[in-house]
Amino acid sequence: MARFALLFISRPFDVRSSSGWRVALALLCAFALTPRTTAAQTTLTLDDAMSRARADTAEARALASSIAEADARIRQARAGFWPRIDLSEVVQRGNQPVYVFGSLLSQRRFSEANFAIAALNRPEPLTNTRTALAVEQPVFDAGLARLAVRSAGLQRDAATAERDRTAQDLAFRAAEAFVRVLQLDAAVRATDAAVTAAQSDLERARARRDAGLVTEADVLAIDVHLADMRQRQIAASGELAVSRIQLADAIGVPLNTGLVPERPAPRPVGADADALVREAMKTAPQRRQAAAGEALADIARRTARAALLPTVGLQAGWEFNGATVGSQESSWIVGAEVRLNLFRGFADAARLVEARHAQARAAAERERVDRTIEVNVRAALARVTAARAREDAGRAALAQARESQRIIRDRYEGGLATATDMLRAAEATLDAESRATAAETDVILQTVALDRALGRL
């Protein structure tokens, strides 16, 4: 748009004429409607992208809610230590003999006349209003309440480990989108340079054709090459726009945000694989999750065994009965209950066997997780090492390709090389630049992958 405006400005016109005013108005509208892309652009670092993915996305908010749910379950489990208090209000009316007999006694209105056979068999309808307060306090529950609290705490630990693991996945997804934008941005710059170079080659070929040194075939071949480079330029620009949208989605910002990733500086990575494995065993959320699962299996076994022990509880009740609320009479009762499980069809024994096998399975699962963590760390370290080697090789190959292209162009100018040689050198330079960019960005991504394997994200 700026070039379009300068074209008009470079041509003098008279603003006093009607056509001059129309041109001036068109320029004014063009500048007013031109989007300010530079003002909307936001510089983004890799660390910021991963932090936003862990905190600002819908998935991150869902993970935070899961921890709050686990905390609530702990409070629910602690209720087993407290007494249970129930208040009830019941209003009944009927002539059922047992109901009438008991209600009269509860209302303390039973008299000798109520012993009459006719009154016992066919009593008059009676209304009873009952207000009752019941209290139950467990004294010994075979440790079930304590085990329930411990189980809820372990579930929260498992949920926290799952949150951390998923947060690492979100951060890695953001890093992948970040690196993808870097790759495509470099691809756009490379295709821009390739289009410029192809245009220069086309002018060179036309000059040699006009001088009678080459045929029209050279010009046509380079023209086809230029069209191909322009197609690649358009495709890369489109993919770059899509990748920016995907990056915005990965970090939880509006999709129309103009994100400009900033290439991170290279940082050292420890080469001692054994030390890195030991670090991962301490910090990897998968291991914490597996340890919590193994402890939960032990809690389940102890809970199954506790079902074989007796339980002791205290009970108390205070109630008011009367024909109306105002005429109620009070009464109370207290007691204790001891319950011992003698036989339930061998279900408790089977449940205990099941819990023992589940505990063995959880222990094997934790061992498998430890093995997986070690494999992931060693593999990630190997990939980082290979990516850095490819980065060095890619840079050297790119420098050689550019120098080769320069030499072949000079030879073409001197009539010592053909247009095919020049096009082959241009393709080789573009491919070398693509491979070099891929290697450079792969170092970034594989370093992040190593951090994820170590539990650092």
Domain ranges of the chain: 1-34
pLDDT at 9 over 50: no
Location of structure tokens 């008059």:
124
Q: Report how far residue 362's alpha carbon sits from residue 352's, in angstroms, rounded to the nearest whole number.
A: 15
Location of structure tokens 């999709």:
255
Query: Exposed/middle/buried for 10, CB within 10 Å: 0-12, 13-18, 19+?
Result: exposed
pLDDT in tens, 403-431: 998 999 889 888 888 888 889 999 999 99
Q: Report how far residue 106's alpha carbon sits from residue 100's, in angstroms, rounded to the nearest whole number.
A: 10
What is the per-residue pLDDT for 20?
42
Do 74 and 149 meet the contact criterion of CB atoms below 8 Å apart? yes
Do 99 and 92 meet the contact criterion of CB atoms below 8 Å apart? yes
* Between 21 and 445, the higher pLDDT residue: 445
CA atoms within 13 A on the CB side of 53: 28
Do 243 and 174 meet the contact criterion of CB atoms below 8 Å apart? no
pTM flag (> 0.95): no
Location of structure tokens 């953001």:
174
pLDDT in tens, 44-89: 999 999 999 999 898 888 888 889 999 999 999 999 999 999 999 9
Do 323 and 100 meet the contact criterion of CB atoms below 8 Å apart? no
Among 19-33, 82-96, 341-355, whose mean pLDDT is lowest? 19-33
Q: Report how far residue 8's alpha carbon sits from residue 258's, in angstroms, rounded to the nearest whole number.
A: 30
pLDDT in tens, 178-212: 999 999 999 999 999 999 989 998 998 899 889 88
pLDDT at 285 over 60: yes
pLDDT band at 40 (very low <50, low <70, confident <90, very high): low
